[in-house]
């Protein structure tokens, strides 16, 4: 893909993530908050935008980068959790909060990330394995069985019982010649 296509995908994903996160925050605010006169802080909503951009970059990098999966996961982890910590937690934290609260939050988010990424990697490995197995499978018997059912003979028109070579070919299809 061209650089323009990557930037377009990053821009679209950023808009989608920002919209979803904003609606989620507004929804949670109206459900959990009893005093609706205060409203949602605009600074908190603005801080979601750089996080959405980092998260979109991390997802595009994970999906399209031509590097090994381990490096993709590490870069995705750094961009996602670094973005969440720097763009969401630090600007909105309580001034009286101590460092241990930030560490506990970081460890909890890391544990959640590891669980979700473990599921994603397991499912993608399973899908790749099934696709690989199906793409390499070539039925050896299917064509011969269909021909025998139709005519009662093999491809050459000869009776299959009398042709010993055909049976040997089916049995030795994977041996080198």
pLDDT tens sequence across 135-155: 766 667 766 555 555 555 555
State which of 30-34, 38-42, 44-48, 149-153 shows the largest mean pLDDT. 44-48
CB 47 within 8 A of CB 21: no
Look at residue 159 in the predicted model and tell me its pLDDT: 52
Residue 79, Cβ density class (10 Å: 0-12 exposed, 13-18 middle, ≥19 buried) = buried
CB 22 within 8 A of CB 48: yes
Domain ranges across the chain? 3-136
Q: What's the pLDDT tens digit per position in 75-129?
A: 999 999 999 988 888 877 777 878 888 889 899 999 999 999 999 999 999 998 8
Name, in order, each residue with C-beta under 8 angstroms of 156's C-beta and a sequence gap of 6 or more.
Answer: 163
Look at residue 90 in the predicted model and tell me its pLDDT: 80
Spatial distance between the Cα atoms of 93 and 19, rounded to a whole number of angstroms: 22
Q: 10 Å Cβ neighbour count for 48?
A: 20
Spatial distance between the Cα atoms of 176 and 3, rounded to a whole number of angstroms: 46
């Amino acid at each position: 893909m061209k650089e323009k296509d990557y930037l377009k995908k990053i821009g679209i994903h950023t808009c989608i993530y920002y919209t979803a996160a904003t609606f989620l925050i507004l929804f949670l605010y109206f459900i959990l908050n009893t005093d609706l006169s205060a409203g949602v802080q605009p600074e908190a909503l603005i801080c979601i935008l750089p996080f959405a951009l980092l998260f979109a970059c991390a997802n595009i990098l994970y999906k399209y980068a031509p590097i090994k999966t381990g490096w993709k996961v590490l870069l995705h982890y750094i961009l996602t959790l670094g973005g969440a910590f720097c763009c969401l937690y630090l600007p909105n934290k309580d001034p009286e909060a101590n460092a241990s609260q930030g560490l506990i939050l970081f460890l909890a988010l890391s544990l959640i990330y590891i669980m979700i990424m473990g599921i994603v990697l397991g499912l993608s490995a399973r899908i790749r394995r099934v696709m690989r197995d199906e793409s390499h499978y070539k039925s050896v018997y299917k064509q011969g069985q269909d021909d025998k059912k139709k005519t009662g003979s093999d491809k050459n028109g000869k009776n299959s019982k009398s042709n010993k070579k055909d049976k040997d070919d089916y049995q030795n299809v994977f041996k080198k010649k």
